[in-house]
Amino acid sequence: MADTAHAVDEKQEQKDDKKQAQFVELSEAPDAQTTSPAGSIDILLDMSVPVTAAIGRTEIPVRRLLRLGPGSVLKLDKSIEAPADIYLKDTKFATGNVVVVDERFAVRINQILGLGNSNAGPTEQ
């Protein structure tokens, strides 16, 4: 048994010998170019983000969903007077009224919500 333990120790030493640290020389990083604070914000200002207006929600069984077709009506959970919820990505950030502009639906913003007032996004139920 002592011979087996000695053989295991020799194998371990051989493995340890193979794991040698190597010296790597790294080049110096180039000096960072100084950019004005306005230059870095310009990148963000040109980005597009998805905005969604939700006029209401409903939940229906799949059986009924499969029977929907042209002319079908889905009753939503909000009254016609209730404001639409406006989402930036999946975060509610404003409310507004649905209007028509140049024969297209639009939303006139009534209130911008603070971070503490945000609710779950339109995809969550």
* 49-125: CATH architecture: Roll (2.30)
pTM for the whole structure: 0.55
Residues 73-96 have a mean pLDDT of 93
For the chain, the structural domain boundaries read 49-125
For the chain, the average pLDDT equals 79
Cβ atoms of 53 and 86 within 8 Å: the answer is yes
Residue range 3-22, pLDDT digits in tens: 555 555 555 555 555 677 77
Distances (CA, A) of 24 to 21, 27, 125: 9, 10, 54
Q: Which residues contact 96 (CB under 8 A, 6 or more apart)?
A: 53, 83, 84, 86, 107, 108, 109, 110, 111
The predicted structure's pLDDT at residue 95:
96
Residue range 89-115, pLDDT digits in tens: 889 999 999 999 999 999 999 999 986
